[in-house]
């Protein structure tokens, strides 16, 4: 009987070899599976941003072509009320088949990036933007948000921001330039990464949600969506995106960007 067990059983060495092979396969497959999951979340996020960009077009049509402006408009344009007190009424909800007021996270998933892991300035590292703001996404404040932008101390930014502020009040969609290059809305932390007034040392390390450092899913004003590397303090790339909506002010932006 003992001989039969030896004949059909596995030796310790054979078991160790099998375990080693399985471990090797797992080590090979797990990174690929992780990359596939990240890509799936990125694609879902891009799909949601594309729908949001389409919803903005409908909003412009119904609102005399005006951009949405007001306190915290760059966050509370859509989603649920959030835990940060950023407002319950969200005007873009209507254009995505949602109530204007959504009191809880349930039912607001169209504004939730599946890769939202936080990285919000001033919040705990694990605090998702969706949970705090009620929305994983943030708009370009030079179009949607407060009708006046400032800068601490102003300095070299003074002339540019003064000219921008003259145009922000009751700004219309048809009044801005190069919609195919103009960033409209994207992953919440993109604006913090871009903003030249936030000290680099204070920025959280997990701001980018989709893998590549400094890369954020962004929807352009014309509805195109892409993963974009955001450059700190760059209002206009000579070849690439633009944040500044007014091409005739580019000369001021380039003076700042030197």
**pLDDT at residue 1 in the model:** 47
Q: Which of 207, 58, 190 is nearest to 137 (CA)?
A: 190
What's the CA angle centered on 37, arms 35 and 40, to 5 degrees? 110
Contacts of 226 (CB under 8 A, 6+ apart): 46, 217, 218, 220
**pLDDT at residue 125 in the model:** 85
pLDDT, tens only, 107-159? 999 999 999 999 999 899 889 999 999 999 999 999 999 888 876 566 788 89
Round to whole Å and give the CA distance between 45 and 29. 24
Provide the domain count of the chain: 1
Which strands sit side by side in the sheet containing 215-220, from one edge to the other? 137-139, 183-187, 215-220, 225-229
**pLDDT at residue 254 in the model:** 94
The phi, psi pair for 209, rounded to 5°, reads -95, -10
CB count within 10 Å of CB 159 equals 13
| Spans of the chain, pLDDT less than 50 | 1-2, 5
**pLDDT at residue 10 in the model:** 67
pLDDT, tens only, 241-250? 999 999 999 9
Range of the domain at 149: 2-257
What's the CA angle centered on 13, arms 10 and 17, to 5 degrees? 95
**pLDDT at residue 153 in the model:** 61
**pLDDT at residue 151 in the model:** 66
């Amino acid at each position: 009987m003992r001989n039969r067990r030896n004949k059909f059983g596995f030796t310790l060495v054979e078991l160790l070899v099998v375990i080693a092979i399985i471990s090797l396969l797992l080590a090979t497959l797990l990174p690929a599976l992780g990359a596939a999951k990240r890509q799936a979340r990125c694609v879902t996020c891009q799909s949601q941003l594309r729908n949001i960009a389409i919803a903005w077009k409908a909003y412009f049509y119904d609102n005399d072509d005006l951009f949405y402006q007001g306190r915290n408009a760059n966050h509370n344009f859509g989603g649920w009320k959030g835990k940060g007190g950023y407002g319950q009424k969200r005007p873009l909800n209507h254009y995505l088949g949602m109530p204007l007021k959504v009191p809880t996270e349930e039912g607001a998933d169209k504004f939730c990036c599946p890769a939202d892991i936080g990285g919000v300035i001033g919040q705990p590292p694990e605090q998702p933007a969706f949970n705090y703001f009620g929305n994983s996404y943030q708009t370009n404040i030079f179009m949607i948000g407060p009708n006046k932008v400032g800068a601490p101390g102003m300095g070299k930014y003074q002339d540019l921001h003064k000219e921008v502020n003259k145009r922000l009040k009751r700004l219309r969609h048809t009044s801005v330039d190069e919609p195919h290059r103009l960033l409209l809305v994207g992953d919440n932390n993109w604006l913090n990464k871009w903003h030249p007034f936030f000290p680099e040392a204070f920025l959280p390390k997990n701001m980018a949600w989709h893998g590549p450092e400094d890369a954020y899913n962004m929807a352009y004003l014309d509805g195109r969506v892409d993963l974009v590397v955001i450059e700190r303090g760059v209002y206009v790339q000579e070849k690439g995106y633009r944040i500044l909506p007014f091409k005739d002010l580019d000369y001021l932006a380039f003076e700042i960007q030197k």
